[in-house]
Amino acid sequence: MHDSGGAQIAQALKHAALCLMLLPRFLLAAVMLWLLDFLCIRRKMLLKMGQSQDSAEDPPVCVSDANKMFTVESLRAVWYGQKLDFLKSAHLGRTAPNTEVVLVHERRPRIVRQYADIADFLVVYIEEAHPSDGWVSTDAPYQIPKHRCLEDRLRAAQLMLSEVPGSNVVVDNMDNSSNAAYGAYFERLYIVRDEQVVYQGGRGPEGYRISELRHWLEEYRNSLLRPAVLHV
């Protein structure tokens, strides 16, 4: 009985410490969401973000005027994403977590054409960032409700097969173990080599940089092409 009570107290203290550490960042994000509900500020900020992009291939952050940014659901989503990012077990230079996923569709593995010689690509579909019964986004191409079971997630993931030709698509399990391990919410890019994380992108949407991924792959390809130098 005493051991159980001690464990509960320790868990409560751990949760309280986590909240204190995340609170400043969360409050800053909440203020930003509140400011973004003023359309003049939203348009200026989106314009500035677009101008600061390093590459045209990085997807821009798009938020239409109809979207409400400061809501209970948006605050829950931001808190959840920040908590996952803080607690993730995937870190640059460390062993990549081998989490459970479910294959969406049996298909012959193919590679994005440009890097077929050096990399395999895998898309892991996680929980919806903007479900139709949560933080709704009118910019989303599909209105998908929260996944209540694995079948819901598999059904929704079928829509991705046409969006990412040449890649295998798998879904996270309903425990969201991949999402938690990699801090993937809302979206994130990783490169894993020899079971180690060698590239970890920022949290999307603002940290989602395809140009960084391409740069890493180009550098890696060039390193493979360099002749080996033998020092005697």
- Which tens digit of pLDDT belongs to each residue from 21-31? 999 999 999 99
* 74 and 135 Cβ atoms separated by less than 8 Å: yes
Q: Lowest mean pLDDT of 9-13, 49-53, 212-216, 219-223, name the range.
A: 49-53
Backbone angles phi, psi at 69, to 5 degrees: -95, -35
The pTM for the full model equals 0.76
pLDDT digits (tens, 9 = 90+) for 146-189: 999 999 999 888 887 776 666 678 999 999 999 999 999 989 99
Query: Mean per-residue pLDDT for 65-90?
Result: 90
Residue 105: which pLDDT band, with cuts at 50, 70 and 90? Answer: low
Q: Which residues contact 49 (CB under 8 A, 6 or more apart)?
A: 60, 61, 206
pLDDT confidence band for 232 (50 / 70 / 90)? low
Mean of all residue pLDDT scores within the chain: 84
Fold held by 2-225: Glutaredoxin (3.40.30)
